[in-house]
Amino acid sequence: MIPINDLLLFGLASLIMVLSPGPNMIYLISRSLSQGKKAGIISLIGVICGFLFHILMVSFGLTAIFFAVPYAFIVVKFLGVGYLLYLAYTTVKSENKIFYTDQNLKQDKPLKLFNIGLLTNILNPKMAVFYLSFFPQFIKPEYGSILSQSFQLGVIQIIISFSINFLIVISAAKMANWFSKKPIWLRIQQWFMASVLTGLAVKMALTKVK
């Protein structure tokens, strides 16, 4: 069982990731603005299934790696640190056009909406890197089954991602209108997220092998 403190830290990292503008958020906002909340929710279900795909791939892969090389997470630790710092940099530099997305997407049937959401997530390199660089920081052989620990982290990440993205879908129009009138809050959000990401990177860099 992963300690509660580690789970809370992982939850914070997952929250920061889902709040960081990327292909999933852009697609969900665009679809919600152009076709309504129902289309946005169907697309979100596809995105969540994409998360399941990443979790399964990484969970079984990490299990194999940990049994083959017990200290392999040292390598991905520094990859994770570098990725967090890169995210912090791009967050500050982003022009935040997230709320000015294409609102003229054509009408699509539910199955196509689901498939596009699924593929948008599966082909999102940010999610693959997130799982590969973050999971090993919180998984320890002494905590029990590596596979079960991976699924435990995966469930937490999915719950957080679904909750935040669901709120984004049902309030996309209001969010776009509010932020367009108060752009200063976008800059505040950028610097806040960059600061948290940098803090997580420092903590990760100081993590020692037990």
Using one digit for the tens of pLDDT, what is the confidence trace for 127-143? 777 777 778 778 887 88
Confidence of residue 202 (pLDDT cuts 50, 70, 90): confident
Q: Please give the Cα distance from 44 to 162 (Å, whole number).
A: 8
Q: Is the pLDDT of residue 80 over 60?
A: yes
Can you tell me the mean pLDDT for 180-204?
71
What pLDDT, on a 0 to 100 scale, did the predictor assign at position 7? 92
What pLDDT, on a 0 to 100 scale, did the predictor assign at position 98? 53
Q: Please give the Cα distance from 113 to 120 (Å, whole number).
A: 11
Which pLDDT tens digit goes with each residue over 127-183? 777 777 778 778 887 888 888 898 899 999 999 999 999 998 888 867 766 666 666
Can you tell me the mean pLDDT for 47-51?
92
What pLDDT, on a 0 to 100 scale, did the predictor assign at position 131? 79
Lowest-pLDDT range, 5-14, 71-80, 107-116? 71-80
**Residue that the structure tokens 């199955």 belong to:** 111
Confidence of residue 78 (pLDDT cuts 50, 70, 90): confident
What pLDDT, on a 0 to 100 scale, did the predictor assign at position 26? 74
Q: Is-contact 55 151, C-beta < 8 A?
A: yes
Tell me the three-class secondary structure of 140-154, residue by residue: CHHHCCHHHHHHHHH
Q: Is the pLDDT of residue 103 over 80?
A: no
**Residue that the structure tokens 């590596």 belong to:** 146
pTM over 0.95: no
Lowest-pLDDT range, 33-47, 58-72, 93-107? 93-107
**Running DSSP on this structure, what letter comes out for residue 124?**
-
